[in-house]
Amino acid sequence: MTTPTDPGAADGRHLRFAVIGAGMAGILSAIKLLEAGLDDFCVYEKADRPGGTWRENTYPGIACDVPSHLYSYSFELNPEWSHLFSPGQEILAYFERVVAHHDLDRFIRYGDEVVRCDYADGRWHLETASGHTDVVDVVIAATGVLHHPRHPDIEGIDTFGGAMFHSARWDHDVPIAGKRVGVIGTGSTAVQIVAAIVGEAGHVSMFQRTAQWIMPQLNPPYSDDDKASFRADPSKMTQMHDNLSQLFEDGFANAVVDADSPQIKLIEQACLDNLESNVRDAELRELLRPNYRAACKRLVISGDFYDAIQQPNAELVTSPIERIELGGVRTTERLHELDVLVLATGFRVDAFMRPIEVTGRHGVTLEKVWAHRPSAYLSISIPDFPNLFMLNGPNGPVGNFSLIEVAELQFAYIMQLVDRLRSNGCREISATHGALDEWETAREEAAKKTVWVTGCRSWYLDDRGIPAAWPWRFTKFRDDMATPNPDHYELI
């Protein structure tokens, strides 16, 4: 198989690309295509600017739970991060600067959502919501995971008389100061929101169905001297990026895939100590105590939530919600009167490319292939959908590592497949059914050892209760991404 630096590939077949999405992975794709000398491409973005999840989510307190120097492109490290874990506005600004630095706007078609992709006569035929059409050789789906809000199925949800919105569609025109605010949910988003607004709102009611393990977080700022040092010697940023990567891998990524690992026990003890040390009221402490293993659900990282939920104007509501009414949320206990209701209820994490209508070889549709659940070989390639490659697709390391590093490794792998197309080694590449079946069988078996199957309900689990995430150590992911196995692909 040829490599991205093979001069033979550069002189071969001309290819046109479509990249779907101008979030983190789409921006990465555009940069790497240009680096490879491939400038015949269009990035299709449904919104009016880049940024993906960091553009969509603007709620108070938004931040990333991966350290900023790790949640950065390895080739575009940023000396200006304000904190170890920087706020969402900075992350969005970082991606916008990267787009400007690489002059990517000339390749991005904003405000035009791809609605159809049909494979015919050896090429992909795209159609957008505006009626624009394009014909390309390769589609790179950088559509992300956390972008289709999930709304709860609660009786009377359309009858609420105040302001109501999903956390990913925060309405900044709605005042919070002095208002009675309800937050449905207890995940990372809900925790960040409650901690951010409790000092401003008149009263905050957090509706908890499931208690969360809270990992304590220190979030020191970077000083002006730190930033000056990074600017003067970029190798210090590289060293920090690599150190954080190793620390994250050893301390977390490898821990969650082995429920009996010493590291997962240390994580659980740290969460338990955080609860015991920082929640003063014994009754509240027990309400906040989960009844499952730490990191079974996505671990919540916060340095201020326990303090926030103990404020005089904060209330943890654990009685089940019966319905939503004109005046607020009625639980089995009483009516909680509210002015604002925030739905911090997560996303449809099984959507990926959908609702785009994707039709592959011989008329097979993605909706039919994924009727039970989404799957892709190595989370990248789908049998019978040639020359379509996914970044951060189904069953990848979405729950246990920096998705930027994941996407960089995946794109390097994809480029090796692309180079086979460029060098006229074949016209079509897609994973074989056998390769996908074998990989899925191995993945499902490995998942039995992970912490995600130790007795909780979470968005990691598919309809069978099997984690839809990478169940091996991260070293295996790096190894698998190093070189594609041509025997696992149908090459036509």
205 and 337 together in one domain: yes
87-131 tens-digit pLDDT:
999 999 999 999 999 999 999 999 999 999 999 999 999 999 999
How far apart are alpha carbons 26 and 47 in whole angstroms? 13
Query: Does residue 1 lie in a domain region?
Result: no
Query: Does residue 442 lie in a domain region?
Result: yes
268 and 356 together in one domain: no
276 and 379 together in one domain: no
312 and 337 together in one domain: yes
Burial per residue of 311-343, b for 16 or more beta-carbon CB atoms within 10 angstroms, e otherwise: eeebebbbeebeebbebbbbbeeeebebbbbbb
Report the phi/psi class of residue 111: left, alpha or beta, with left for phi > 0 and alpha for psi in -120 to 50. left
Q: Where are the alpha helices (DSSP H) in 299-402?
A: 305-309, 366-369
pLDDT of residue 244: 93
Query: Does residue 250 lie in a domain region?
Result: no
pTM attached to this predicted model? 0.95
Query: Does residue 224 lie in a domain region?
Result: no
Q: CATH number of the domain at 42, please.
A: 3.50.50.60
Beta pairing class for 300-301 and 314-317: unpaired
Q: Sheet containing 203-207: which strands, arranged edge to edge?
A: 163-166, 340-343, 180-184, 203-207, 314-317
Confidence of residue 377 (pLDDT cuts 50, 70, 90): very high
Confidence of residue 11 (pLDDT cuts 50, 70, 90): low
Which of 41, 32, 49, 37 lies closest to 7, judged by CA?
37
121 and 264 together in one domain: no
Q: Can you tell me the mean pLDDT for 222-248?
A: 95
Tokens of 189: 């988003």
The dihedral over CA atoms of 42, 44, 49, 50, expressed in degrees to the nearest 10, equals: -80
Which of residues 328, 343, 358 is at a domain's end? Answer: 343
293 and 331 together in one domain: yes
For the chain, the straight-line distance linking the first and the last C-alpha, in angstroms and rounded, comes to 14
How far apart are alpha carbons 448 and 272 in whole angstroms? 25
Q: Are 286 and 277 in contact (CB under 8 A)?
A: no
Q: Can you tell me the mean pLDDT for 313-320?
A: 98
Confidence of residue 351 (pLDDT cuts 50, 70, 90): confident
Confidence of residue 342 (pLDDT cuts 50, 70, 90): very high
Confidence of residue 147 (pLDDT cuts 50, 70, 90): confident
Q: What is the CA radius of gyration of the chain?
A: 23
Burial per residue of 13-33, b for 16 or more beta-carbon CB atoms within 10 angstroms, e otherwise: eebebbbbbbbbbbbbbbbbb
Q: Under DSSP, is residue 257 helix (H, G, I), strand (E, B) or coil? A: coil
307 and 389 together in one domain: no
pLDDT of residue 2: 35
Which of residues 343, 367, 402 is at a domain's end? Answer: 343
465 and 367 together in one domain: yes
111 and 41 together in one domain: yes
| Residue matched to tokens 């997560």 | 346
**Number of domains forming the structure of the chain:** 2
130 and 206 together in one domain: no
Q: Can you tell me the mean pLDDT for 164-169?
A: 97
How far apart are alpha carbons 5 and 422 in whole angstroms? 12
| Surface-to-core class of residue 185, CB atoms within 10 Å of its CB (0-12 exposed, 13-18 middle, 19+ buried) | buried
Which domain, by its residues, includes 264? 157-218+259-343
Q: Residues near 78 by Cβ (< 8 Å), separated by ≥ 6?
A: 68, 69, 72, 94, 237
Confidence of residue 409 (pLDDT cuts 50, 70, 90): very high
Q: Does pLDDT of 7 surpass 80?
A: no
DSSP for 403-420 reads HHHHHHHHHHHHHHHHHH
Query: Does residue 92 lie in a domain region?
Result: no
Which of residues 296, 314, 343 is at a domain's end? Answer: 343
Q: Can you tell me the mean pLDDT for 184-206?
A: 98
Query: Does residue 42 lie in a domain region?
Result: yes
